[in-house]
């Protein structure tokens, strides 16, 4: 497929620009990952999912993408947590790196080309610091190395922050040894009991910002296409990255800076101190990961995303409907193929309305995605029309039709299903499990939220059937209403009653106390993505 005129919003220029890679046909992309000292939260999930979609879409457009997403496994917070738990810092961070990878697998995020860790790139970090010192942009004091921000006249070019208004950085206490309060650490002298590495300035470890400059340069060079992360990384993290990289190499340049918005909870920014903080794992315990992914792409990636239980229930219902339609489609096509003895004949063309449906879906999808990944509107409009068309066509197949007409409808369903699956694949919503398995997983989660097991529901179906046979419609209606309130819907299909998950009339809230992660712990700052 020909490449679209893909436009992305560049935080540096604060406008949408047509995407043009530095090397034709190839894209280099670096995204700031997590500081691995705890289970990852919804802010981490949002960044990962949105940049995963960017990765998928660039690949769809035919680019060869080198996607680098780092792990910070050497950091103050890791050391603090390891001291609290009496665990080796690198072992603790490795444990949470693995937990993050499990979460990303659940959320259907593709594995990046590279997932470097700070602890594996000390030589590259030290080499870059040496280069910065050699070019007189940094100075060593008592085993620490600080970047001299006044040496870099373009400091503030990304964030718009004026140097005279800058503080010493969000993670760093003001130090009288600094030449300017905004100077930040490139290397920190070792303290007793902390992990350290030998260096020309004495034993120590890297500052927060230098790691990404060193690792992005190592894997992508000093000039690459996309650098991404949460909006709260613009300052100081990405601002400091620019300063460091330009000091080490004058030709350093990132073409497009991309940032995703915050996740809020009932319109308040998620934080541990407010007790409204949810990890990915806490959500996927109760909701299918596909429902969470659907929710995370339900707003434009640059907009704030407000978490509510209603939103998650709505996403769960939407994905269930998609998979039920695909399952019905598969059942109908399978049934047709079993009874069709003329499979070797040339298939008929889809109907004109089906062709129009496909054209509209393809056109709308490409238009929205090429407009700065506008996923918020992808699964509405033409996509919903396509699902309705499939369901309507499946109903038509149950009628008595001429053979050629039936074959044309079947071919229409096949072609639309193919287009729907392509959209789902690019959005990361197409599971490797069978449709039936995914639907059962959704039902299991719905039962868990309702505090029921399937036998409970089947017994209530039987009880309701008896009530209806006895013309006790008040009891029948109450059973149905009670279950709908819990997110379980009854559907009467002929003489049989089946059930499916639905949006509950009163969705059960996640326990805020259970969701708060170690209440005594101080509020976590950005940790390299929006929190």
> pLDDT digits over 137-185, tens only?
999 999 999 999 999 999 999 999 988 655 544 444 578 899 999 999 9
Q: 213 vs 508, which has greater pLDDT?
A: 213
Mean pLDDT of the chain: 91
Query: Do residues 290 and 501 touch, judged by C-beta distance below 8 A?
Result: no
The alpha-helical segments, DSSP class H, found in 228-351 are: 239-248, 280-284, 289-296, 309-339
> pLDDT digits over 194-224, tens only?
999 999 999 999 999 999 999 999 999 999 9
Specify the pLDDT at position 298. Answer: 97
The tokens describing 366, both together, are 């490409």
Burial readout 226-252 (b: 16 or more C-beta within 10 A, e: otherwise):
bbbbbbbbbbbbbbbbbbbbbbbbeeb
> pLDDT digits over 457-469, tens only?
999 999 999 999 9
Res. 402 pLDDT band, cuts 50 70 90 = confident
- Rounded distance between C-alpha atoms, residue 387 and residue 364, angstroms: 15
Which own/partner pairs from 353-358 qualify as long-range (CB within 8 Å, at least 24 positions apart)?
353/389, 353/412, 354/389, 354/393, 354/411, 354/412, 354/415, 354/416, 357/382, 357/385, 357/386, 357/389, 357/416, 358/386, 358/415, 358/416, 358/419
Please, which residues have CB within 8 angstroms of residue 322's CB and are 6 or more apart in sequence? 387, 420, 424, 429
Specify the pLDDT at position 170. Answer: 46
pLDDT at position 511 over 60: no
Specify the pLDDT at position 171. Answer: 47
Specify the pLDDT at position 465. Answer: 96
Specify the pLDDT at position 526. Answer: 39
Q: What single-letter DSSP state applies at residue 492?
A: E
Q: Where do the DSSP E strands lie in 456-524? A: 488-493, 496-501
pLDDT exceeding 70 applies to what percent of the chain? 90
pLDDT at position 456 over 80: yes
Res. 347 pLDDT band, cuts 50 70 90 = confident
List beta partners, residue 260. 230
Closest C-alpha among 141, 134, 240, 120 to residue 188: 141
Please, which residues have CB within 8 angstroms of residue 384's CB and are 6 or more apart in sequence? none
Q: 64 vs 277, which has greater pLDDT?
A: 64
Q: 341 vs 418, which has greater pLDDT?
A: 418
> pLDDT digits over 83-127, tens only?
999 999 999 999 999 999 999 999 999 999 999 999 999 999 999
- Rounded distance between C-alpha atoms, residue 432 and residue 2, angstroms: 27
Query: Do residues 179 and 145 touch, judged by C-beta distance below 8 A?
Result: no
Specify the pLDDT at position 176. Answer: 87
pTM over 0.75, yes/no: yes
pLDDT at position 359 over 80: yes
User: At 256, which helix (H) or strand (E)?
Assistant: strand 253-260
Specify the pLDDT at position 342. Answer: 58
Q: Which residue has the tokens 């959209």?
A: 423
């Amino acid at each position: 497929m020909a490449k679209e005129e893909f436009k992305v919003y560049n935080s540096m220029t604060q406008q949408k620009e047509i995407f043009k890679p530095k090397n034709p046909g190839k894209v280099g992309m670096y995204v700031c990952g997590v500081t691995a000292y705890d289970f990852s939260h919804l802010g981490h999930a949002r960044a990962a999912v949105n940049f995963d979609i960017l990765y998928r879409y660039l690949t769809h457009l035919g680019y060869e993408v080198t996607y680098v997403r780092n792990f910070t496994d050497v950091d103050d917070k890791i050391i603090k947590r390891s001291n609290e738990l009496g665990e080796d810092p690198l072992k603790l961070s490795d444990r949470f790196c693995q937990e993050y990878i499990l979460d990303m697998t659940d959320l259907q995020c593709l594995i990046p080309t590279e997932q470097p860790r700070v602890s594996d790139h000390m030589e590259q970090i030290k080499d870059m610091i040496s280069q910065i010192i050699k070019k007189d942009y940094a100075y060593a004091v008592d085993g620490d190395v600080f970047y001299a921000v006044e040496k870099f006249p373009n400091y503030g070019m990304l964030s718009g922050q004026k140097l005279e208004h800058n503080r010493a950085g969000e993670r760093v206490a003001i130090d009288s040894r600094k030449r300017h309060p905004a100077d930040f650490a490139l290397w920190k002298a070792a303290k007793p009991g902390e992990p350290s590495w030998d260096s020309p300035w004495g034993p120590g470890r890297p500052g927060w910002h230098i790691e990404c400059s060193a690792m992005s340069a190592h894997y992508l060079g000093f000039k690459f296409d996309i650098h991404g992360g949460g909006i709260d990384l613009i300052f100081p993290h990405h601002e400091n990255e620019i300063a460091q990289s330009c000091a080490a190499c004058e030709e350093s340049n990132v073409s497009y800076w991309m940032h995703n918005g915050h996740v809020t909870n009932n319109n308040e920014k998620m934080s541990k101190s407010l007790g409204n903080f949810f990890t990915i794992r806490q959500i996927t315990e109760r909701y299918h990961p596909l429902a969470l992914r659907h929710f995370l792409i339900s707003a434009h990636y640059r907009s704030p995303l407000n978490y509510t239980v209603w939103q998650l229930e709505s996403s769960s219902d939407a994905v269930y409907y998609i998979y039920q339609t695909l399952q019905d489609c598969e059942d109908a096509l399978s049934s047709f193929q079993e009874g069709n003895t003329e499979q070797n004949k040339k298939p008929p063309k889809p109907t004109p309305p089906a062709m129009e449906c496909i054209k509209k879906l393809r056109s709308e999808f490409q238009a929205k995605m090429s407009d700065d990944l506008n996923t918020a509107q992808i699964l509405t409009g033409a996509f919903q029309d396509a699902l309705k068309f499939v369901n309507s066509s499946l109903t038509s197949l149950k009628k008595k039709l001429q053979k050629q007409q039936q074959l044309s409808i079947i071919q229409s369903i096949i072609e639309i299903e193919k287009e729907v699956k392509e959209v789902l694949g690019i959005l990361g919503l197409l599971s490797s499990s069978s449709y039936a398995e995914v639907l059962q997983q959704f039902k299991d989660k719905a039962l868990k939220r309702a505090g029921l097991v399937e036998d409970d529901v089947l017994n209530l179906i039987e009880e309701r059937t008896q009530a209806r046979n006895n013309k006790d419609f008040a009891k029948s209606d109450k059973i149905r209403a009670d279950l709908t309130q819990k997110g379980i819907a009854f559907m009467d299909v002929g003489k049989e009653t089946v059930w499916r998950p639905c949006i509950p009339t009163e969705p059960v809230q996640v326990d805020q106390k259970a969701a708060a992660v170690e209440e005594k712990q101080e509020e976590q700052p950005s940790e390299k993505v929006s929190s």
